[in-house]
Amino acid sequence: MNNIKIEDLTWEGNSKKMYDEIVNSLPLMFKAAVKKKFEVWVNQKNETHITEWNIKHTIEKYAPKQYQDKLMPVYEKYKTVD
């Protein structure tokens, strides 16, 4: 299995700003879990190039509904493409 870390990723557009603001908005006990889950995802997909769409898709697919309502405005604030 690969061992891609967050630090190894290439971020397109404002995807890194989105990721950072989302993680920073989470309660402390969730931050490490979200980072780990994201690293597991990039390794499963062998994905090193992250787009704004990846951030949106991840929120929609993995975040509980109450968090989607809080996190989608972060995506909307920074998105540069539709």
Q: CA dist 76 to 16, 44, 62, 81, Å? A: 14, 27, 17, 10
Q: Is residue 24 part of a domain?
A: yes
Q: Is the pLDDT of residue 15 over 70?
A: yes
Mean pLDDT of 46-63: 92
Does the residue 23 lie in any domain?
yes
pTM: 0.88
Q: Has residue 67 been placed in a domain?
A: yes
Q: Is the residue at 52 inside a domain?
A: yes
Q: Is residue 1 one of the residues assigned to a domain?
A: no
Range of the domain at 53: 6-78
- The three-state DSSP-derived secondary structure of the chain is CCCCCHHHCEECCCHHHHHHHHHHHCCHHHHHHHHHHHHHHHHHHCCCEECHHHHHHHHHHHCCHHHHHHHHHHHHHHCCCC
What is the count of structural domains for the chain? 1
Average pLDDT over residues 44-54: 94
